[in-house]
């Protein structure tokens, strides 16, 4: 079916709600229309950029009537820069929509008919919260910033409103250095800020890939710009507390453990902890962090979770297993391995509600009950959200 709009490729639509992925949902002429950067209740004149079957992908030409939660996006790069896609919404609307996105994924993908009540913890800062970033460089054109939305063109950004002030200052210094060294073949730069100083990878502008130190609650962590560390530091104490909750006992497992953000607090509560992380530099820092804390009851395995599951042998299922995989979630073989391992309780920390829901569906079919779901607004001004799900083992799986 073809859309017949005001012209061949324009249409007036009313946005019903925001979907996982952050796009607005509308219907017109028998088609489902996905509109980027929309707010619920917006009446928009849109341009249809692409049609796939009965789905049209559209961008806003004119806001005919703004929805009740629409505000003026404060960032001048909004719309072109691919970094933020929720600046058009009040902060409360962003929070409400993230809860709605998680509920939608649980119902539609995980097939949980009545999901538990989902609380969301707000970010202490709606702006200037990013303590880690990945910048893109186009040396030929002298550009530094982020990829444009759905593109690998670099959007040149002088000022990024979600960056921690130390990283904003670093960005300005890096920009000046890149102008002085136009022939340096750099495509991408990772940066992170610690309690004192910043770490930049690759080194540039007098900045090195220095080791950083961060105190989170009562624990201290060492890491650098090459290793993963969470973006929004103020939310980490409540996230860690909620993830571990009142769990304690003999054995815990921390999968995708990075530099040990959850490993250290787990080691205070369990007799023995196994941490599994594939990236060798991250496990080097994890061991340093454990040594520094005087913790001796942890085994750190530098292995992919798939490899670790192949080799792990224990007579007893672990009391508690925490997993915090990358955005893609777990491979099928990992979810099956978890079901065979049969930890009594699981805490699943995820930065993508859709892949979380996909994995929860299999865990529930494998004998786990979904006990609670909580959200943490790690990434204000974007549709991204950190979700924590707690599960407990109920019965022997009929699938294995």
Ligand X SMILES: C[S@@+](CC[C@H](N)C(=O)[O-])C[C@H]1O[C@@H](n2cnc3c(N)ncnc32)[C@H](O)[C@@H]1O
Stretch that binds ligand X, among 97-105, 156-164, 275-283, 379-387 (CB under 6 A): 275-283
How far, in Å, CA of 363 to CA of 103, rounded? 17
Beta strands in 278-319 (DSSP E): 298-302
Residue number closest to ligand X, CB atom = 258
* 3-state SS, residue 112: coil
Q: Which of 78, 86, 146, 256 binds ligand X (CB under 6 A)?
A: 256
Query: Closest CB to ligand X among 136 and 227?
Result: 227
How far, in Å, CA of 40 to CA of 100, rounded? 12
Q: Counting contacts by CB under 6 A, is residue 97 touching ligand X? A: no
Judge whether 157 and 144 are in contact, CB under 8 Å: yes
Q: Counting contacts by CB under 6 A, is residue 261 touching ligand X? A: yes
Q: Counting contacts by CB under 6 A, is residue 77 touching ligand X? A: no
Binding mask 200-229 for ligand X (x = CB under 6 A): ----------------------------xx
| CA 213 to chain CA mean position, Å | 22
| Residue 175 token pair | 């920009």
The DSSP H or E segment spanning 64 is: strand 55-65
Binding mask 98-137 for ligand X (x = CB under 6 A): ----------------------------------------
Q: Counting contacts by CB under 6 A, is residue 360 touching ligand X? A: no
Q: What is the DSSP letter of 220?
A: E
Q: Which of 278, 295, 341, 344 binds ligand X (CB under 6 A)?
A: 278
Q: How far is the CB of 35 from ligand X (least distance, A)?
A: 30
Q: Counting contacts by CB under 6 A, is residue 258 touching ligand X? A: yes
Stretch that binds ligand X, among 14-22, 186-194, 199-207, 272-280 (CB under 6 A): 272-280
The DSSP H or E segment spanning 272 is: strand 270-277
Query: Closest CB to ligand X among 265 and 367?
Result: 265
Residues 6 or more apart in contact with residue 149 via CB below 8 angstroms: 36, 79, 80, 81, 82, 85
The one catalytic residue among 75, 81, 160, 351: 351
Q: Counting contacts by CB under 6 A, is residue 279 touching ligand X? A: yes
351 belongs to the catalytic site: yes
Neighbours of 333 (CB within 10 A): 12
Judge whether 350 and 325 are in contact, CB under 8 Å: yes
Q: How far is the CB of 341 from ligand X (least distance, A)?
A: 15
How far, in Å, CA of 47 to CA of 61, rounded? 6
Query: Closest CB to ligand X among 212 and 282?
Result: 282
Judge whether 36 and 85 are in contact, CB under 8 Å: yes
Task: Return the residues of window 301-330 that contact ligand X according to CB under 6 A.
Answer: 304-305, 324-326
The footprint of ligand X (CB under 6 A) covers 228-230, 256-258, 261-262, 276-279, 282, 304-305, 324-326
Active site members: 351
């Amino acid at each position: 079916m073809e859309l017949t709009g005001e012209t061949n490729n324009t249409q007036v639509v009313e946005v019903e709600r925001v979907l996982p992925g952050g796009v607005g949902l509308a219907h017109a002429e028998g088609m489902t229309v996905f509109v980027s950067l929309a707010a619920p209740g917006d009446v928009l004149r849109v341009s249809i950029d692409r049609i796939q079957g009965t789905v049209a992908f559209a961008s806003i030409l004119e806001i005919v009537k703004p929805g009740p939660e629409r505000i003026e996006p404060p960032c001048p790069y909004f719309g072109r820069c691919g970094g933020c896609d929720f600046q058009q919404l009040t902060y409360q609307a962003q929070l409400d929509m993230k809860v709605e996105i998680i509920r939608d994924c649980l119902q539609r993908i995980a097939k949980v008919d009545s999901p538990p009540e989902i609380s969301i913890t707000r970010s202490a800062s709606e702006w200037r919260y990013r303590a880690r970033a990945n910048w893109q460089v186009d040396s030929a054109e002298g550009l530094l910033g982020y990829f444009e939305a759905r593109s690998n063109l670099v959007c040149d950004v002088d000022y990024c409103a979600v960056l921690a002030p130390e990283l904003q200052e670093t960005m300005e210094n890096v920009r000046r250095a890149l102008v002085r060294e136009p022939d340096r073949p750099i495509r991408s730069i990772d940066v992170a800020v610690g309690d004192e100083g910043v770490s930049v990878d690759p080194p540039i502008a007098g900045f090195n890939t220095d080791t950083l130190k961060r105190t989170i609650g009562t624990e201290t962590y060492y890491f650098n710009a090459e290793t993963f560390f969470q973006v929004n530091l103020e939310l980490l104490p409540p996230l860690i507390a909620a993830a571990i909750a009142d769990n304690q006992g003999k054995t815990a497992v921390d999968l995708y453990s990075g530099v040990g953000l959850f490993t250290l607090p787990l080691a205070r509560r369990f007799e023995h902890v196994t941490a599994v992380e594939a990236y060798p530099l991250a496990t080097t820092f994890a061991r340093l962090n454990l040594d520094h804390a005087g913790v001796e009851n942890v085994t750190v395995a530098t292995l992919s979770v798939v490899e670790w599951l192949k080799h792990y042998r224990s007579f007893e299922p672990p009391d508690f297993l925490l997993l915090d995989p990358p955005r893609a979630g777990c491979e099928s073989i990992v979810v099956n391995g978890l079901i065979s391992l049969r930890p009594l309780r699981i805490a699943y920390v995820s930065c993508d509600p859709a892949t979380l829901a996909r994995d929860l569906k299999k865990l529930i079919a494998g004998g786990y009950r979904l006990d609670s779901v909580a959200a943490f607004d790690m990434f204000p001004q974007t549709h991204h959200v950190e979700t924590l799900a707690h599960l407990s083992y109920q019965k022997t799986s009929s699938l294995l």
